[in-house]
Amino acid sequence: MKELLRRKRDGAQWTEAEIVQFVEGVTNGDVTDAQCAAFLMAACINDLTVDETASLTLAMMRNGTRLERGISSRLAVDKHSTGGVGDKVSLLLSPLAIACGLAVPMISGRGLGHTGGTVDKLESVLGLKMALSMDESKQLLREHHGFMSAATAEIAPADRRLYSLRDATGTVENVGLITASILSKKMCEGLDGLVMDVKVGKGAFMKTLDEAQRLGTSIASVAKAAGLPCTVVYTSMDTPLGQSVGNWVEMVEAEEALASYEHADPRLRRVTECLVTEMLLLANVATTETAAHAMVRSAWTSGAAHREFHAMISRQGGDWEGTLRDAQRKTVSHEVVAESSGVITVDPMAVALAVMSAGGGRLRDGDTIDPYVGVRFVLQSGDSVKPGDALAVVSGSSVEGATELQNALKRAIQIGDPKNIMPDIIDLTRPE
């Protein structure tokens, strides 16, 4: 290992066999934390080639448990987002895609950094079981074409160990390491196709389109090398997506959006429709973009996706009505009003940090989350206001928490001149 690390330090490329040996050592403990950290730093300084990234991805994926392809009678396609603020797309997309004839084995993560996690949102529903065993996941996939679960320690265990060391050694932001980390876990779902939503902007990990495209290109190349058809969509994260940020409030927004297409937030609708359309195209469920888009629209407006949303929650033990009652009983809400006139700009990072420090996210590993902490926007970036207009409603489980969030929100919503807003869908690349 010392000799291998010396070569990596000096910029040499590792062979596939060497990467397999390294990943095995990371998984079984033969490679020490110091050696893992040395590899991570060398990979950040010298970068990994596409071949190395592909070998690392496959080795990490193979070193744990995974679902095989073909468990459902339908093609299995999933979407992965690089993370944003108010990004509740997965909650709508999964029932929509299933209603359109796909299988969606959805293994999700918890909040990472300032970004919210699908698992935390789903766990705000009382009784909803996210810690599914492989057998339970397989049964749901076979019988109902989908499940929603949290990643377990058995899935890509080497990534779990490397990820926590990346966090501690300042080596998170490397395109090759991010690619291998994301794809090794997604490829454990036994997928026939993957749509990657690479978020760009102030509330995303990738702040510029250039950085986002470097990551998107790396993911597309490695997916291709691994034989996984992958479409990459670049979407804007300069402002929160949709009308809410928080765990339970985002569940409620997703449910209400599926219940009424007309009342759903237009940006959330556009991004969701685009991503599900790409999933259908990848699986050849529809052959043209127009036909795929029409299928998605029909699954939404007919109520089929809304019914699937509730069916998925009930199948995994969730009590929707009970949570609505519990939230009503336990939450305190305050309004945030405009104090001047102008056009508003909502800073996604400031909103995310405000929600997190009010208890809606984890500041440290192991922190518990208050599911009812959240923000519901009345107005959004680009809207004009005058003094006294309601901007947002904040909620929390205590008067102090809600007041703290109300003050932080006032700072996160700036009122002034209009700013340029990026288009929702910036670019996309389909597999050749």
Residue ranges in contact with ligand URA by CB under 6 A: 109, 112, 178, 181-182
Of the pair 145, 185, the CB lying nearest ligand URA is at: 185
Of the two residues 228 and 292, which places its CB atom closer to ligand URA in the complex?
228
- Closest residue to ligand URA, judged by C-beta, is 181
Angle at 293 between CA 289 and CA 298, to 5 degrees: 150
Q: Least separation, in Å, of the C-beta of 218 and ligand URA?
A: 12
Which residues participate in catalysis according to the annotation? Answer: 78-81, 118, 166, 181, 185-186
User: Whole-number minimum distance, CB 172 to ligand URA, in Å?
Assistant: 6
82 vs 316, beta carbon nearer ligand URA:
82
How many Cβ atoms from other residues are within 10 Å of residue 280's Cβ?
A: 27
What's the min distance (Å) between Cβ of 178 and ligand URA? 4
Task: Kindly state the DSSP code that residue 388 receives in the 8-state scheme.
Answer: T
Among candidate residues 225, 223, 165, 168, the one with its CA nearest the CA of residue 198: 223
Q: Which is nearer to ligand URA, 103 or 155 (CB)?
A: 155
Q: CA-CA distance, 144 to 151, in Å (whole number)?
A: 20
DSSP of 244-280, one letter per residue? Answer: EEEHHHHHHHHHHHHH-TTTS-HHHHHHHHHHHHHHH
The continuous run of DSSP H or E covering 132 comes out as none
Nearer to ligand URA, 182 or 358 (CB): 182
Task: Take residue 323 and report the two structure tokens written for it.
Answer: 């949570």
What DSSP string runs through 68-121?
PTTSSSSPBEEEEE---SS--HHHHHHHHHHHTT-BEEEEE---BTTB--HHHH
